[in-house]
Structures are given as structure tokens and as C-alpha cells.
A and B are shown apart, each in its own frame.
Chain A
């Protein structure tokens, strides 16, 4: 009984999450990096010249991008030791399930980081907790889907090359720009209390990006495997 795409995706995602939380070091390291980054940015800016409320979204999304990259770096490393990837490829599951499973695990990883980073930003930059936080979480989740789709694919490719650590950021960052831009504009518009219609074009940009690249990267993934 060959597993369906959905069930094999979930099996792969569970496996990755199990491995991640068995050790927890990667998660904690990225978490520390993210919160530290948020704090460092605060000192880098002149708080008297720029209001914290205006600064917060920018800081959040920059940190989001770089902690996201850190999270994605480890995505395919675990498959290389002992050729564990072969074990997955030998089985009758769809290749796309491997991609979607890893992307799902990465999404949950990134979401976990955001769960701590966003309140940290709110705290350090004196944003009111409540509605602003919900907005940030929602937009962050939307942005994370796009980030993870691109990052999981490029992580798969980069892990097979000589310059893995350099290539992942180098290839991914141009793709992250529409995501970061859309997310930053949407959040700053909403946080400033402006009507949500104004934020809608940016949310549409995010959603369109997510859909296009989720599909494109899933379809592209089998081409990154050895043939």
C-alpha cells in the first residue's frame, strides 16, 4: 500500500522535527541569534531620531530573514550523513513528498523562532501586546511560507555543492526581497493603525509569491536529485 503524498509528507516532516528536537541545539542557537540580533539593532539606531514603532517592523523582518537562513542551512545536512537520503529515495514515496515534508518541518521551525522573536521585538521596542502581535504573527506566517519554499529548495541544491554555506544566502536573498518588502509594508501599515485596505496589496503580493513559489519549488525539487 503505497503511502499517499499527504501521509508521506507528514512522515518526512515528523522525522525532521523528531531529529531537530532530539538535539535542540540548532533551534536554540538560531533563537539566541534572533533575539540577540533584535537587541543589537536597537543599539545601532538612534532611538531619539527614529521612533521605536517605525523601527520595529524593519528590524523584525531583517532578523526574520537572517534567522530564517540559519534555520534552512541545516535542512539537508542531516540527509547527507550515511546517505540517509538514499533511504528516502529507495522507498516508493513521491519525491515531492520529501520536499514538502522538509519544507513543512522548516516552516514549523521558523514559526517556532518567530513565536519567541516577535514578542521579544514587542517587548524591547515597546509595542503594545494584543492586536499588533496577532498581526505580526499572521504576516510572519505568510512570509515564512515563501521563505521556506525557496530556502528548502536552495538548501537541497546548495548541500550538493562545494560552497554550500555561501550559496544558500547568495541565491536565496534576491528571492526573499518581495517577501520581506511585502511583509514589512503590510505590518507597518497595519501597526500604524491605517485601514487594512491599504495593507491588502502587500498581503496579495505575499500570497501570490507563496502560491507561485510553493508550486514551482515543489516541481523543481526532483530535478535537484541525482539521476
Chain B
């Protein structure tokens, strides 16, 4: 998003009140957070792969667990932001809340996808099954559908204010739905226990693995926040460009 395109779009200088410099999106600024996040992830991966012992029972595949859990928690973090920003938007009608919800929703979907792919990848060698309807995985699946629906809804509404309102309504209703899904899955599992020989329990992790998990989790969180911020900036720039275009038509 170079300033040259803004000049072309509105015949204005980058320093104008609606220009890219004022909005902080020249694109020339170095995204230090993202670079740091990638570096943290690299460190975490190296530590997980090379400097953490292999678990006795589950073998090397157990290491997927670090990715799986970190991605899951961060997905919930991102979706929590969506739900919170939905409430904030309906209350304050501040479009920044809507943009943040949009960004967090997309990043959340990515992380949910990671959870849903690492789950089976971890599960197959360890449990012998690609998919079990265990509580977390099932909830994640439903969250994936809800988030995908959220993004499709956003894509289907052209008017910005309506899009923000509709997304906020869906965000709040989805948050209300979660306890019901949870309850349904809980009932389902207690009534229909899965015939799995090796149930993956919460292992009491030896210190080294715990540290690796925390490192991984921390790196993942930094990455999640960096991605949300990056996506948010894109949304700001896109909306600014749309604003310039529509104002231009009014001359």
C-alpha cells in the first residue's frame, strides 16, 4: 500500500488528514512486532524439535501437542476479541471495534484450522483414530463453522454500517451459543463414551516439556497479536481508500 496509489486515488498528498501518513499506514514502517513474532516462533520450534525430549509413550508425534494447544488457546483468545468487540460496536458504534472484530475473526479462523488439522495429525498415531468427538475438538469444529459463517456474512454485505451491525449480532449470538454446544457435547460424551484404548490424558509434564509448552504458547500469542494488528492495519487502509473513493464521487 504505497503512498503513490493514494496520490493517484485522490490527487492528495500523503500528509493530508485522510492520507496514509496520518493514518499510520504508509507501509514503509517496519512491522517490528511481526518480525519479533516470527523470531519467537522460530525459537520455539527449534526448542520443541531439538531441545525437548521425546515423550516415551507417544513418541515424536507428541510434539504436535505444543502447536495444537497453543493454537487452540490463541484461537479462543481471538474469538473472545470478536465477541467483546461485537458488544462494544453495538454499544458505541465505533467502527474501530468492527475492524478489530473483523481482523480477530480472520486470524481466529486460521488458528482454528491449525487446531483442526493438528488434532487428527496428533490423534492418528496416538489414538489410532483421525477424529474423536471429544469435547475440545468438537467445540473447535463448531467454532470453525461459526467463524466461517461470520466471515461469509461479512463478505455478503456491501454496506459498511449494516455489515458491522450484522456481524456484531452474529458475534454475540455465537457467544451465547457456546455454552449450549458445550453442554450438548458433554452430554454426548458422557452418554456415548468413545471406544478408545489410549485416552489422551492431561500428562503431568516434566519441567522441560512444560517450559517448551510455555515458550511455544508465548510465541504463538505474540504471533496471534501481531497478525491481528497487521490485519487491522490492512482494514484501516482499505477503509480509508474506500472513503476517499466515495468522497471523490461527491465532488
Name A residues whose Cβ lies closer than 8 Å to a Cβ of B: 150, 153, 157, 160-163, 166-167, 170-171, 173-175, 177-178, 181-182, 185, 201-202, 205, 208-209, 212-213, 216-217, 220, 223-224, 226-227
Which of B146, B152, B157, B168 has a CB less than 8 Å from the CB of A223?
B168
Give the complex CA separation of A167 and B156 in angstroms. Answer: 9
Give the complex CA separation of A174 and B143 in angstroms. Answer: 9
Q: Is the CB of B166 within 8 A of A224?
A: yes
Name B residues whose Cβ lies closer than 8 Å to a Cβ of A: 90, 142, 145-146, 148-149, 152-153, 155-158, 161-162, 165-166, 168-170, 172-174, 176-177, 180-181, 183-184, 187-188, 191
Q: Is the CB of A185 within 8 A of B169?
A: no
Give the complex CA separation of A99 and B239 in angstroms. Answer: 33
Which chain B residues border A178 with CB–CB below 8 Å? Answer: 177, 180-181, 183-184
Which of A153, A167, A212, A223 has a CB less than 8 Å from the CB of B176?
A212
Give the complex CA separation of A157 and B145 in angstroms. Answer: 18
Which chain A residues border B172 with CB–CB below 8 Å? Answer: 216, 220
Which of B148, B152, B165, B187 has a CB less than 8 Å from the CB of A224?
B165
Residue of A nearest to B138 (CB): A177
Q: Is the CB of B156 within 8 A of A162?
A: yes
Which of B153, B162, B168, B183 has a CB less than 8 Å from the CB of A226?
B162
Give the complex CA separation of A166 and B153 in angstroms. Answer: 10
Smallest CB separation, A117 vs chain B (Å): 23
Which chain A residues border B176 with CB–CB below 8 Å? Answer: 212-213, 216
Give the complex CA separation of A182 and B170 in angstroms. Answer: 22
Q: Is the CB of A157 within 8 A of B153?
A: yes
Looking at chain B's contact residues, the main secondary structure is helix
Smallest CB separation, B120 vs chain A (Å): 21
Q: Is the CB of B166 within 8 A of A217?
A: no
Which chain B residues border A209 with CB–CB below 8 Å? Answer: 180
Give the complex CA separation of A104 and B188 in angstroms. Answer: 31
Give the complex CA separation of A153 and B158 in angstroms. Answer: 19
Q: Is the CB of A205 within 8 A of B162?
A: no
Which chain A residues border B183 with CB–CB below 8 Å? Answer: 178, 205
Smallest CB separation, B155 vs chain A (Å): 8
Which chain B residues border A223 with CB–CB below 8 Å? Answer: 90, 165-166, 168-169
Given A163-B156, A173-B145, CB of A220 within 8 Å of CB of B181: no
Given A167-B152, A170-B149, CB of A160 within 8 Å of CB of B184: no
Residue of A nearest to B141 (CB): A174
Q: Is the CB of A171 within 8 A of B149?
A: yes
Q: Is the CB of A224 within 8 A of B169?
A: yes
Q: Is the CB of A161 within 8 A of B169?
A: no
Which chain A residues border B156 with CB–CB below 8 Å? Answer: 161-163, 167
A-B CB contact pairs (8 Å), 21 listed: A157-B166, A157-B170, A162-B156, A162-B157, A171-B153, A174-B177, A175-B177, A177-B181, A178-B184, A181-B184, A181-B188, A201-B187, A205-B180, A205-B183, A205-B184, A208-B180, A213-B173, A216-B172, A220-B172, A223-B165, A223-B166
Give the complex CA separation of A205 and B15 in angstroms. Answer: 58
Give the complex CA separation of A174 and B152 in angstroms. Answer: 14
Q: Is the CB of B161 within 8 A of A227?
A: yes
Smallest CB separation, B225 vs chain A (Å): 27
Q: Is the CB of A202 within 8 A of B145?
A: no
Please name the 5 residue pairs, one residue from A and one from B, whose CB atoms are nearest each other, closest first. A161-B156, A178-B180, A163-B156, A181-B184, A220-B169
Q: Is the CB of A216 within 8 A of B173?
A: yes
Which chain B residues border A174 with CB–CB below 8 Å? Answer: 142, 145-146, 149, 174, 177, 181
Give the complex CA separation of A227 and B165 in angstroms. Answer: 10
Residue of B nearest to A221 (CB): B169
Give the complex CA separation of A202 and B176 in angstroms. Answer: 18
Give the complex CA separation of A127 and B81 in angstroms. Answer: 49
Residue of B nearest to A189 (CB): B191
Give the complex CA separation of A195 and B172 in angstroms. Answer: 37
Smallest CB separation, A146 vs chain B (Å): 10
